[in-house]
Chain A
């Protein structure tokens, strides 16, 4: 648990930051049940790769239970000036209740990180086709999801910008 002196709101605590990152906090169970109905349940064992770095599959995962890790390929700048893949580095742990792969879900661009199961995991999977179906059947809910994902990504970008500003000082 850390505080973030490099963010504008320096009085905010981690709990405040985490609270901001909750997907659709105002939704009730009836809305969620509609979404969960179109999800698929996937299970992974320790060591299984859920999302491989570079994957462009437009899908979203909700971690029902279990712990996963987010790994990136650490690049090493060599003497010849080229960046080369060096080895995987652990960025963070992901626990139940997290929503993952939202960037690739929205833009279809390669996932920057590999997500790997650390323990036995159960994930709820939602891909673009299922979401298209959901969009047709519940356009207002789909709109709310996309809008909130946009808000969350915007928030993440703001935080990254603050972080960069902090380090560039």
Chain B
């Protein structure tokens, strides 16, 4: 996965030599070692020559260039690993005293053996033989007792200090072929990671541990110099020889300590420098000696320039080696610092995490394949909430499955989601996506699911036509004025039932249908309209609907059954649907209209606010209106970085959706996230010279701001209808078939007034438009009033208000539960044993169940005690309830 690790371990270093070849080489070296040892007793001079003159001089350069080669073929290592290979090792962990002192033992042995060469081993065959036998037997014993390489190779081997010093930056990296698997027998194991072992030693927090390494490096050049400059006995006495060598070693160590004290360089760099000096010094003396050996064996005398070439090669190699080693240190330190800069958790947090994991162990897993995330879903959570909580971007609108903003593809586990409601099905039909599509806000997770946030197109175009519907073939021309959700829903349902008629949709805005509930995002988001469109451009063509964007209707001639566009063009109609929507109400405010005055109703409004705030560096905003739109706008401005105050005429916000207690909870929550709601506040005037600078309230208070946004409600666009003689009041008056007083003219959505109400809510607009569409094409359908619900979701506020939120008589009861500290509030209004309204602040997991219980008018008589006690899980809809009932007999069923 990591192709170029900075410090590859032995498993990451490619191996080019087959395992069998290494075994063969080991057999050869063991044979050679034993051969020399035995020869040392029989023909001492030959053994001494081969060992000291031919083999030993090669080893330093081998350690320097390709230490891994030696680590794999060393006869001592091979014998040390034999018990492990043949599975007769006891594999004990080395005792603490051995682990703590092994390296020191190796150094001491080395410092004893090297001088003793001069006095004994260089000239005495049997002594060399014994030394070799000791060096071959001890590793075998170590391998028998101790695991891995802790019995010799990575502990007390006297050659290990030299190998670690010289072999720390190998020119040829050969992976360790023994340790599979690694048993973790040694600290900072050289075989595990040859590039970092010595660095890790040097930077070890144990001063003794790193001190041993520095001590060895400090003595090494002195030892080599002493070895070659001190005369061998009997030229001087053995004591004098040892004393002289000790003096050299101490001088070398002293220089090291002086440099370490005064030089502005790390100890590691000085040890590296001393290693390079030692190597060069060694070959200053040994290259002529090796030339003599070649002459002795082959009879060839090497010319002087070859010897100089060899010296220069060693010098050049060691220079490159120093450079690479220093560079490596930088990388190592950087890596180590990164590691040491990690924020860690305490043991208590770790234990809490373990406890938390056991709590969520049964939560189903949802795989968001398109995002590469697998997450656990809490009970009752829908896909939209889950995606949002996990940082995935998914458009959201009504959160009720009506607007169509959040279609997703279910790649697997469709059966593990809650059932599709009629509202959601209608939206899915309108979108015409693949069969595996669900609206994320409606799909509650009950088991493992695989999801793609990118919905799929159907392989074969889906037809939403209603087969067998008896439409009126005489209807040839239908005109829909309005390209919002009511207009588009009407056009869609007309086409579903009437395949032949011409449908014209005329929109005043220059956008196709977009998610009006996501408007506020245009203020703080940087992606403008991207993702906000609810239908692809091709939808109109695919449904044979002629769309007129940016087009104004100037006149309706109800007698001639024509409409006249602002450019003079006339369109005839057999049926006309008015879905002209509404606009923002602007109360009479002195000074309104100064630059910085805004409303927020359409996409262009939101983009203008963003543009203005950026252009003039606005810092403060006042939002007039504490309703749903006002609060959403306030949050958008807050998220954009502005200091926001909301003006509310009454004593709490969202007066039409919340009772006083709920309103106060909401207000406190908003204040906590930085949005102030100023109650009993009405704007009298806005002031400023070139742009708005101040808002003056009717009670005389003043608020400084650069942006003044009016969200004071909506006003239906009825002027066109009124001018055509259609009866209007607050909106266009319609009957329960959405007919106006003029035959063949219908109205739906925000512009329609039904039963004295103009709702301005998407789900109601959709239901009215569908009703109108059925009646437009010759069918018969009456509008069934649906319980209005409102949802506010800003920065952790999960607010739902459905239906009647206060008891109106003594026959109606309220269940109110609150947690002031947590800003949690919930309330049910119950009449005739049924829930008729609810407020939920901070309980998103109950939203769907409560809404369903109200809309389906379920009886809750049997579960009142549970509801009073706060166990609202009993309201879970029927399919989930059945599941729960299987698991627990305690929770009673709801009666339908």
Contacts and interface: CB of A to CB of B under 8 A. Distances in A.
A116 B447 CA distance: 27
Contact of A62 (B200, B204, B333, B349): B349
Given A40-B389, A70-B338, A152-B343, A2 B204 contact: yes
Interface string B350-362: 1111011100100
B344 A46 contact: no
A32 B341 contact: no
Given A42-B375, A122-B357, A127-B389, A87 B340 contact: no
A45 B372 CA distance: 9
Interface stretch (B2-10, B418-426, B481-489, B831-839): B2-10
A48 B367 CA distance: 13
A92 B338 contact: yes
Contact of A49 (B264, B360, B372, B669): B372
B451 to A, nearest CB: 14
Nearest to A89: B6
A87 B203 CA distance: 28
Contacts of B391: 57, 59, 125, 127
A130 B342 CA distance: 23
Contacts of B823: 136-137
A143 interface: no
Contacts of A59: 391
Contacts of B311: none
Contact of A102 (B264, B343, B795): B343
Contact of A21 (B335, B340, B353): B340
B335 A22 contact: no
A91 B338 contact: yes
A159 B340 contact: yes
Interface in B323-340: 330, 332-340
B822 interface: yes
A82 interface: no
Contact of B352 (A29, A100, A163): A29
B346 interface: yes
A160 B337 contact: yes
Secondary structure dominating the interface of A: mixed
Contact of A137 (B335, B376, B822): B822
Contact of B673 (A99, A122, A135): A135
Which of A17, A90, A159: most chain B CB closer than 10 A?
A: A90
Nearest to A63: B345
B375 A27 contact: no
A6 B388 CA distance: 44
A94 interface: yes
Contacts of A64: 353, 357
Nearest to B669: A136
A122 B357 CA distance: 10
Nearest to B196: A2
A3 B203 contact: yes
A42 B342 contact: no
B725 interface: no
A43 B357 contact: no
A139 interface: yes
Given A90-B5, A127-B391, A33 B342 contact: no
A57 B391 CA distance: 8
Interface string A37-55: 0011111111111000000
Interface in A93-112: 93-94, 96-100, 102
Contact of A42 (B267, B341, B355, B373): B373
A129 B796 contact: yes
B343 A136 contact: no
A156 interface: yes
A43 B346 CA distance: 22
Contacts of B336: 2, 4
B877 interface: no
B258 interface: no
A158 to B, nearest CB: 10
A163 B355 CA distance: 39
A32 B345 CA distance: 11
B341 A23 contact: no
Interface in B572-622: none
Given A28-B348, A43-B374, A15 B390 contact: no
B18 interface: no
B14 interface: no
B782 interface: no
B371 to A, nearest CB: 10
B673 A22 contact: no
B796 A48 contact: no
Interface string B200-219: 10011100001000000000
Interface string A48-87: 1100000001010010100001110000000000000001
B211 to A, nearest CB: 12
Given A2-B203, A132-B796, A137-B823, A25 B346 contact: yes
A18 interface: yes
Contact of A129 (B204, B333, B348, B795): B795
A52 to B, nearest CB: 10
Which of A14, A25, A49, A137: most chain B CB closer than 10 A?
A: A137
A14 B340 contact: yes
A132 B344 contact: no
Given A99-B345, A125-B391, A135-B673, A43 B1 contact: no
Contacts of A49: 372
A156 B341 contact: yes
Contact of A94 (B342, B356, B360): B342
A23 B350 CA distance: 11
B757 interface: no
A45 B367 CA distance: 12
Given A62-B353, A136-B672, A159-B341, A130 B796 contact: yes
Interface in B1-43: 1-6
Which of B200, B332, B333, B388: most chain A CB closer than 10 A?
A: B333
A147 interface: no
Given A89-B4, A136-B823, A97 B348 contact: no
Given A57-B391, A90-B6, A124 B353 contact: yes
B365 interface: yes
Contacts of A98: 342-345
Contacts of A36: 352-353, 356
A45 B369 CA distance: 12
B363 A41 contact: yes
Contacts of B357: 41, 64, 122
A132 to B, nearest CB: 5
A42 B344 contact: no
B345 A23 contact: yes
A135 B357 CA distance: 23
Contact of A40 (B337, B376, B673, B822): B376
Contact of A99 (B6, B344, B390): B344
Given A2-B204, A132-B673, A169-B264, A44 B342 contact: no
Contacts of B3: 87
Nearest to B340: A17
B868 interface: no
B871 interface: no
B340 A33 contact: no
B376 A99 contact: no
A125 B391 CA distance: 9
B2 A69 contact: yes
29 contacts: A1-B205, A3-B205, A4-B203, A14-B340, A21-B340, A21-B341, A23-B343, A28-B348, A29-B348, A29-B352, A32-B348, A36-B356, A42-B376, A42-B390, A43-B365, A44-B374, A57-B391, A62-B349, A64-B353, A71-B2, A87-B4, A90-B4, A90-B6, A98-B343, A98-B345, A102-B343, A122-B357, A136-B823, A137-B823
Please give me the 3 A-B residue pairs with the lowest Cβ-Cβ distance, nearest first.
A133-B796, A2-B203, A13-B205
Given A98-B345, A129-B795, A135-B673, 12 more contacts: A6-B333, A21-B342, A32-B352, A43-B365, A43-B376, A90-B5, A91-B338, A92-B338, A92-B342, A127-B391, A137-B823, A163-B337
